[in-house]
Each structure stands twice: as C-alpha cells, then as structure tokens.
Amino acid sequence: MKTQTTQATVAEADLVLTLTVAGQPCGVPVLVVRDVLGPQTITRIPLAPPEVAGGLNLRGRIVTAVDLRRRLGLPARPKEAQPMSIVVEMGGELYSLLADAVGEVVPLTAADAVGNPPTLDPAWREVSRGVHRRDNQLLIMLDIERVLTIGGVR
C-alpha cells in the first residue's frame, strides 16, 4: 500500500526528510511529517508492546512514540543518546517515530530509486519501500504504514 507520495508516477524530485537509525540512513516523504521534535519526556505505558516507547504530550495532543530501533530489532541506543521525534499522522492518530538523528530535507529523484536489494536484512525489508543511492550509501525509504503495524495490530 502506498502512502502520500507515489514514487513511480512522479518524475520530478520528491522532498524527503532524512534520518538515521543505528547508523542506517532512512528517509520519509516530507508530506507525511507533521512535526520534528527534539528529546521529549516520554511516559512509559505498561503492558504495551516493546516497540511502543510510550506516550508524549504535543501541544495538548497525546502522541504514541514508536522506537524505530526496537521496531527493527536493532540494539538499543546508548543511555546518554536522546532520540529525535518525527511525528506522523495515521488513521487520525499521531505517532512519533524515534530515530537517532534527523538530517536535512533533500530532493530525491525517482531515477535514483531502486527496489529492495536481495541482500537487504529481512527486518528492514519489511518496512522498506525501496532504496536510494546517496553519498555512496543506501538510503532506505520507510513505509510508514508498515512501520506502524506492530504485532499485527495497527
């Protein structure tokens, strides 16, 4: 399923917000991003799935934080490192994707896009819509809907 932007049909560059998760550069289309926040106070939610880091207060609205490292089965970030929040909206609810760092907004053309390479880790493959070559690195385009499909529950 596609989210806001359909890569295939748009010839010009799409604006993408870059972020880093455990050293892996990723990107999300800028159009789905509602907010980018620095480190936040996140309230732990008991009995929640491990990927759900908790809840945070964004100007009076409750945002559910999803830790991307845990979502992708990656090792936890070091204690001192505070995650950045990328707030997206899905199904009328606000979610915050916790990443290690947020980069710039860059235009990425469809021309640079390739499908998932066969060597891609299965955990990444599940949430990836494709990859871009950029600065001699692979940038994984995240599929927000699949990222937020946790334990079969969305």
Partner 1 sequence: MDDLIADFLTETHEGLAALDVALLRLEKSPNDKQTLSEIFRLVHTIKGTCGFLGLSRLEAVAHAGENILGRYRDGVLFVTPEGVTLVLRALDRIKLIINGIESQGAEPAGDDAPLIADLNAMAEGHAAPSAAPAAVTPPPEAAPVAASQISEPVAVVPSLSPAPAPAVFGADTPHDQPGSHAAPQSIRVSVDVLEDLMMLVSELVLTRNQLLQLSRARSDGAYTVPLQRLSHITSDLQDGVMKTRMQPIGNAWNKLPRLVRDLANELGKKIELEMRGADTELDRQVLELIKDPLTHMVRNSADHGLESTEERRRAGKSDTGRVMLNAYHEGGHILIEIADDGKGLNTARIREKAVTQSLASEAEIAGMPDSEIHRFIFRAGFSTAAAVTAVSGRGVGMDVVKTNVERIGGTIDVSSTLGRGTSFTIKIPLTLAIVSALIVEVAGERFAVPQIGVLELVRVGGGSDAKVEHIKNAPVLRLRDRLLPLVSLARVLGLAEEEEAEVAAEALEQRFIVVTQVGASVFGIIVDRLYDTEEIVVKPVPPILRHIGMFSGNTILGDGSVIMILDPNGIARATAVAAEGNGARNAEAAAAQGLRSAERTALLLFRAGEATPKAVPLGLVARLDDIPLDTIEYSGGQPVVQYRGQLMPLISMSGAPPGDDAGRGRQTVLVFSERERSLGLMVDAILDVVEERLDVQAGQGRPGFLGSAVISGKVTDVIDTGWWLRQAGGDWFQPGSAPRAARRVLVVEDSNFFRELVVPSLSAAGYEVVGVEQPSQALKLREQGVTFDAIISDIEMPGMDGFAFAREVRAEGIWRDLPMVALTGRVDAAAVAQGRAAGFTDYVGKYDRDALLTSLAEVLDAALAA
| Closest approach of partner 1 to the CB of residue 92, in Å | 9
| Closest approach of partner 1 to the CB of residue 51, in Å | 9
Strand partners, 57: 62
Residue 154 interacting with partner 1 (CB under 8 A)? yes
Rounded to an integer, what distance in angstroms lies between the CA atom of residue 39 and that of residue 82? 6
Residues 6 or more apart in contact with residue 107 via CB below 8 angstroms: 13, 14, 15, 16
| Closest approach of partner 1 to the CB of residue 89, in Å | 12
Site for partner 1 in 46-75 (CB under 8 A): 46-49, 52, 54-57, 60, 62, 64
Stretch that binds partner 1, among 22-30, 41-49, 98-106, 126-134 (CB under 8 A): 41-49
CB atoms within 10 A of CB 148: 20
Q: Point out which residues bind partner 1 (CB under 8 A).
A: 41, 43-49, 52, 54-57, 60, 62, 64, 91, 93, 95, 148, 150, 153-154
